[in-house]
C-alpha cells in the first residue's frame, strides 16, 4: 500500500517536472540568463508555501498519516561544503540542464542521451564518496 | 480540458511541488532526489569498498520508488499530456542560443544537438553530457543535496546551509552559462 502511495507521489512529481518544463534544458538556460520569471516563480512559490507548511506542522505538531511525529533534521553547520559543493552542482546543472529529479523524468519522456547524464551522475556520486575525506567540508 | 495539454504555468507547478513535499512529509519522509544516486551506488556494491556507501538500501527503497514514479510521470507527461513539445522561452534567449549553435531552441523540449538520439553518435556530445552528469552527482553529494533537498526542502525549513548551497548553485550555473558556454559551444 505504502509502495503504491510513493509510486503515485513520484508519478505526480514526474508529470509536474515535465509539464512545468522545469525538466527542459532551455528553461534552465533561460533562468541563468535571467530572461524569464518562470523558474523563479516555480521555486519561489514552492518555497513560500513550503515555509508556511513547515511552520504550521511545527507549531501545531501535526502528525504524519501514520500518527507519528514529523521530524525535521537540521543540516550540519558548515560553510565550505555547501558553497563548494553547490558551485560544482551548479556548473553541472547549467551544462546538462537537468538536476537529479528531472533526469529520471526525461528518461521516461524518452530522451536516450539523458541516460549518459544519469550514469555520469552516479559516477560523480561515487567519486565524491571516494574523495570525501580529502575535500574541505 | 485543453489546458492540461498546455505547459503548466509557474503558479500551478510551484504549489504542486509544495504539495508533493507535503505528501512526503506526511508519509514521514523528506523530499530529496539526489539521495537516490547514492542508493544506486550502494546497490552496485560500492559499500564494500567505500564506507560512505555502506548503508541499508532497503531504508531508501521508498525514495527509489518515488523516482520510478518520476520516470513513469515523465512518460505520461510527454506521451499523453503533451501535443506540442516546443518550449516557449524568451525570444531573446532563442536568438542567443541560435548564435551558440543550438538551432532547435524554441521548437523542441531539449536541444537536439545534445539530446536527440543521434547525438550519441558524437564523442564530443557524450563527453559534454558525461561531464555535466559527473558535476551534478559530485556536487549534489558534496553539498549534501540538490534542488529538491536544498532549494525546496531546506529553504522551506529556513536552513542557512541550504541557502549557502543555493547561492553556490547559482554561482556555478551563472559561471557555466556566461563564462564557459562561449568556450564550449
* Region of residue B158 (left: phi > 0; alpha: psi -120 to 50; beta: else): left
Name the residue among B87, B51, B114, B169 with its Cα closest to residue A19: B87
Are A121 and B37 in contact by the 8 Å Cβ rule? The answer is yes
B153 shares contact with chain A (CB less than 8 Å): yes
pLDDT given at position B3: 78
pLDDT given at position B1: 63
The residues with which A63 forms a beta bridge, in sequence order, are A69
- If one counts every other C-beta atom within 10 angstroms of the C-beta of residue A76, the result is 10
pLDDT given at position B35: 96
| DSSP conformational letter for A20 | T
pTM assigned to the model: 0.96
What chain A residue is nearest to B66 in terms of C-alpha separation?
Answer: A10
Work out the percent of chain A whose per-residue pLDDT is above 70.
100
User: Taking CB atoms and an 8 Å cutoff, what residues of chain A touch B63?
Assistant: 6
The answer to whether A89 contacts B24, with C-beta atoms less than 8 Å apart, is no
- Taking only the tens place, the pLDDT of each residue in B62-108 is 999 999 999 999 999 999 999 999 999 999 999 999 999 999 999 99
B40 shares contact with chain A (CB less than 8 Å): yes
The residues with which A69 forms a beta bridge, in sequence order, are A63
Helix%, strand%, coil% for chain B, nearest 5? 70, 0, 30
Chain mean position to CA A6: 16
- The domain ranges of chain B are 1-83
CA distance A49 to B68: 26
User: Taking CB atoms and an 8 Å cutoff, what residues of chain A touch B123?
Assistant: none
B86 shares contact with chain A (CB less than 8 Å): no
Alpha carbons within 13 A on the beta-carbon side of A63:
4
- Taking only the tens place, the pLDDT of each residue in B115-158 is 999 999 999 999 999 999 999 999 999 999 999 999 999 999 99
Name the residue among B172, B174, B164 with its Cα closest to residue A83: B164
B176 shares contact with chain A (CB less than 8 Å): yes
Which set of grid coordinates corresponds to residue B72?
513513469
- Taking only the tens place, the pLDDT of each residue in B34-46 is 999 999 999 999 9
Amino acid at each position: 500500500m505504502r509502495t503504491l502511495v510513493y509510486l503515485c507521489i513520484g508519478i505526480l512529481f514526474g508529470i509536474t517536472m515535465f509539464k512545468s518544463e522545469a525538466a527542459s534544458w532551455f528553461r534552465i538556460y533561460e533562468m541563468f540568463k535571467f530572461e524569464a520569471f518562470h523558474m523563479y516563480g516555480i521555486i519561489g512559490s514552492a518555497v513560500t508555501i513550503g515555509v508556511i507548511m513547515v511552520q504550521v506542522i511545527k507549531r501545531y505538531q501535526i502528525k504524519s498519516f501514520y500518527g507519528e511525529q514529523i521530524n525535521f533534521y537540521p543540516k550540519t553547520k558548515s560553510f565550505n561544503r555547501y558553497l563548494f559543493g553547490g558551485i560544482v552542482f551548479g556548473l553541472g546543472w547549467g551544462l546538462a540542464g537537468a538536476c537529479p529529479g528531472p533526469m529520471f523524468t526525461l528518461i521516461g519522456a524518452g530522451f536516450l542521451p539523458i541516460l549518459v547524464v544519469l550514469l555520469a551522475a552516479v559516477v560523480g556520486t561515487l567519486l565524491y564518496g571516494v574523495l570525501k575525506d580529502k575535500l574541505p567540508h | 480540458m485543453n489546458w492540461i495539454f498546455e505547459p503548466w504555468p509557474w503558479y500551478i507547478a510551484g504549489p504542486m511541488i509544495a504539495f508533493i513535499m507535503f505528501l512526503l512529509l506526511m508519509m514521514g519522509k523528506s523530499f530529496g532526489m539526489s539521495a537516490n544516486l547514492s542508493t544506486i551506488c550502494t546497490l552496485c556494491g560500492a559499500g564494500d569498498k567505500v564506507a560512505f556507501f555502506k548503508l541499508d538500501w532497503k531504508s531508501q527503497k521508498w525514495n527509489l520508488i518515488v523516482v520510478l514514479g518520476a520516470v513513469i510521470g515523465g512518460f505520461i507527461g510527454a506521451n499523453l499530456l503533451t501535443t506540442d513539445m516546443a518550449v516557449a522561452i524568451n525570444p531573446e534567449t532563442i536568438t542567443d542560443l541560435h548564435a551558440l549553435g543550438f538551432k532547435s531552441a524554441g521548437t523542441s523540449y531539449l536541444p537536439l544537438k545534445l539530446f536527440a538520439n543521434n547525438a550519441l553518435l558524437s564523442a564530443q556530445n557524450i563527453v559534454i553530457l558525461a561531464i555535466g552528469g559527473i558535476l551534478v552527482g559530485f556536487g549534489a553529494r558534496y553539498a549534501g543535496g540538490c534542488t529538491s533537498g536544498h532549494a525546496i526542502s531546506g529553504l522551506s525549513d529556513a536552513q542557512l546551509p541550504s541557502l549557502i548551497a543555493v547561492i553556490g548553485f547559482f554561482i556555478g550555473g551563472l559561471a557555466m552559462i556566461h563564462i564557459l558556454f562561449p568556450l564550449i559551444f
